[in-house]
Amino acid sequence: MSAALDPIRVRVRVTSPRLAVTLGIVLVLFGAASIGIAYVVVSGMLDGHWYDFRDLGLGMAHLREWLNEVNAGQPAALSAFLGDQWISYITGALLGATGILTFFGLLLLILVWVERRLIGRIQVRKGPNRVGPFGLLQPVADALKLIQKEVLIPIGADRFMFYLPPVLVFIPGLLVWAVVPWAPNMNYLDTNVGVIYLIAISSTATLAIFMAGWASNNHYALLGAMRTVAMMISYEIPLSLALLMVVLMTGSMQLSTIVQWQVDHHVWLGMLMPLALFTFFFSSTAELNRTPNDIAEAESEIVAGFHTEYSGMKFGLFYAVELGNAVAVGAFVAAFFLGGWSLFGLETWIPPYLIFAAKAFGGYFVLVWLRGTLPRFRLDQLMSFAWKYLIPISLLQVLLVAIEVTAMRYMHFPDFVELSLVGAANLAFTIFIVRAWATFLGYRPEREQVLKPTMAKQMGGLRAAEEMRTR
Amino acid sequence: MDHLDQLFGTYAAVFAATIAGFILVVTALIASRLLAPFSVERNKGTSYECGMLPLRRAQTSIGMRYYLYAILFIIFDVEAVFIFPWALSYVEVGPMAYYEMLVFIGILAAGLAYAWKKGALKWQ
């Protein structure tokens, strides 16, 4: 092509393919190392045992014990400073972090395909089906495309604050997976303040989102960020109150104990407290900015909300975290309300982590379903719903649950009777308060005039339509 | 050494995961920096505003109503932090804890009702 046909001269710097090849080799080596470590741990080459596939956590525990025995004679100076078992702790932490990272990466790759196919099916179209069999390689193509796109920085942007948010959003998205209880022994971080950890980590993302909107120097981005922050902080309160009911009932903030409580009592907390389950799920959709509540990035109003100005890999990180967090919400709904890794005795036959994954993906499927079905709420409706509806009735429900816990402590009926009574009382209260509070707020469905949709022409043009509207 | 062990058992894990996540993100960003084309063209950095040139700087002030929600949020979030320890020790303390929490939540609810009455929750 001659220079005359190409009047806009742009200096383009494309790096050699050698770098791409090097990167590919590094990735392959990483994958091979992960598979090798998993093989060594699972196959029991370490001390000659064959570890049961039903419990991957057992292999980890054995590895730790073995490391502790090996390191009995470590230098005293280090153990005085770092504790006695620091080698096994650090090894365990590194292995677990690698595991979470690998899982998260694979999950994100799969989810892009799953979500687009499901939404396509709901909207009666095919979804991606060109790249590879059933379009399965679409996420890989997407990732390669995103990584090759130029990252633009808008004029007048706060450059440092513009660089930070993708990192700050991604790390909490990864860290919430640390407390997920996959199986009886299988959780990366089994801390006794698990619920608080979860709330704290997940609310960090709000800051990053506001930073992104502010630094972009774009009206849409700032509007989106303001809306997001207002919505996320409002819905954090019903979310904490729903978790508070769980903590009150089980008497623990440790996620493994909460699941164990449900296993011991042969009940799912979602059955005992339907209001808490609904509140948690609805608030989570607001925290995730997903469709019933996606005013933060409403593409028909404000272009893409807080990440309007982000392009290339930075946009890719925002997108990936959104998908990953959706499954994380599914996982926490499963752990708190749907019995975690238990399935009424089946967990002795099926690996518990598979049951848990099935429940988590079930929750994720409901989220995708909502996205394909519901329209978007208005911002003022959403805020009113949080402050005037969810928070008061959640507070009342917390007080009721406290009474029930006291009653369960002082009466000595069989477990089954007690829990049935509690479940029935909560269900009755939920039905009553949902109707009563809606009536209190002025919702009178029987007094609503049902207007049949009529063609404006039949009604006599725009003037008649206006008359109908103001009547 | 017990508390040190516990510290390492729990928070070394968080630290390791943070570092792993940081390495992943930075790798992705550096890879895109190396692989993506890069060109000098000033007008590409114009911020997006329906195709027209942007009117003025976007980093302006923020609507007052968002501040009202933020203030209410702080009150209720601190309250949640107070209620969680109560929920844990509630069964041991006995019925007295219930009445105390009733008073606490009552004061909060009165605050919410006041804000509601004053119109802080109305979106005008």
Q: Which ipTM score applies to this complex?
A: 0.85
Tell me whether residues A312 and B14 touch, CB distance under 8 A: no
Neighbours of A447 (CB within 10 A): 6
Residues A62, A114 within the same domain: yes
Q: Specify burial of residue A44 (Cβ count, 10 A radius: 0-12, 13-18, 19+).
A: middle
Residue A8 maps to a domain = no
| Calpha distance A388→B119 (Å, rounded) | 12
Residue A93 forms contact with B (CB below 8 Å): yes
Widest Cα–Cα separation across chain B: 71
Which residues have C-beta within 8 Å of that of residue A457, sequence separation ≥ 6?
none
The two structure tokens encoding residue A357: 């994954």
pTM: 0.81
Place of tokens 């704290």: A200
CB contact under 8 A, B13 and A387: no
Structure tokens that stand for A201 in this block: 């980590």
Nearest to A319 by CA among A434, A185, A170, A196: A170
Residues A128 and A239 both lie in one domain: no
For residues A127 and A232, membership in a common domain is answered with no
Whether residue A9 is contained in a domain is answered as no
Residues A272 and A232 in one domain: yes
- Within a domain: A209: yes
CA distance A233 to A371: 22
Same domain (yes/no): A103, A62? yes
Same domain for A346 and A235 = yes
Q: Are residues A114 and A157 in the same domain?
A: no
User: How far apart (Å, rounded) are the C-alpha atoms in residues A57 and A363?
Assistant: 24
Same domain, A270 and A349: yes
Q: Which of A92, A112, A143 is the last residue of a domain?
A: A143
Q: Give domain status of residue A432, yes or no.
A: yes
Closest Cα partner for B36 from A23, A148, A144, A312? A148
For A367, the token pair is 């989220």
Chain centroid to CA A159: how far?
A: 29
Taking the CA of residue B45 as centre, how many other CA atoms within 13 Å lie in the half-sphere pointing to its CB? 14
- Taking CA–CA distances from A225, the nearest residue in chain B reads B62
- The minimal CB distance from B17 to the residues A105, A174, A409 is found for A174
Residue A100 shares a structural domain with residue A171: no
Residue A325 is encoded by which pair of tokens?
């967090």
Instruction: Quote the CA–CA distance of A234 and A206 in Å, as a whole number.
Output: 11
Is A209 found in the same domain as A227?
Answer: yes
Residue A252: its chain B contacts at CB < 8 A? 88
Contacts of B81 in chain A (CB under 8 A): 196
Q: Is residue A325 part of a domain?
A: yes
Whether residues A132 and A165 fall in one domain: no
Domains and CATH numbers, chain B: 2-118 (1.20.58.1610)
pLDDT by 10s per residue, chain A, length 471: 344 444 444 444 445 566 677 778 888 988 888 788 777 666 655 554 544 555 666 666 677 777 777 666 555 555 555 556 666 667 777 777 777 778 887 888 888 888 888 888 888 888 888 877 777 888 888 888 888 888 888 877 778 888 888 888 888 888 888 888 887 777 777 788 889 889 888 888 888 888 888 888 888 888 888 888 888 888 989 999 999 999 998 888 888 889 988 888 888 888 888 999 999 999 988 888 777 777 767 666 777 778 887 888 888 888 888 888 889 999 999 999 988 888 877 777 777 888 888 899 999 999 888 888 888 887 888 888 888 889 999 999 998 998 888 888 888 788 888 888 888 888 999 999 888 888 888 777 777 666 655 565 565 666 766 776 776
CB-CB contact of A334 with A364 (8 Å)? no
Distance (Å, rounded) from C-alpha A310 to C-alpha A307?
A: 5
Beta pairing partners, B39? A12
Which residues sit opposite A183 in a β-bridge? A186
Which of A125, A143, A161 is at the close of a domain?
Answer: A143
**For B110, which residue in chain A has the nearest alpha carbon?**
A392
Number of domains in chain A: 2
Domain boundary among A143, A175, A195: A143
Residue A265 falls inside a structural domain: yes
CA torsion angle for A104, A110, A112, A113 (degrees, to 10)? 180
The residue segments making up the domain with residue A385 are 149-446
Q: Is there a domain that residue A459 lies in?
A: no
Taking one residue from A and the other from B, the number of pairs with CB-CB distance under 8 angstroms is: 245
Residues A172 and A299 reside in one and the same domain:
yes
**A187 in B contact zone (CB under 8 Å):** no
**b or e along A282-299 (b: 16 or more beta carbons within 10 Å of the residue's beta carbon)?**
bbbbbbbbbbbbbbbbbe
Q: Flag whether A400 is in a domain.
A: yes
**Which chain A residue is nearest to residue B24, measuring alpha carbons?**
A101
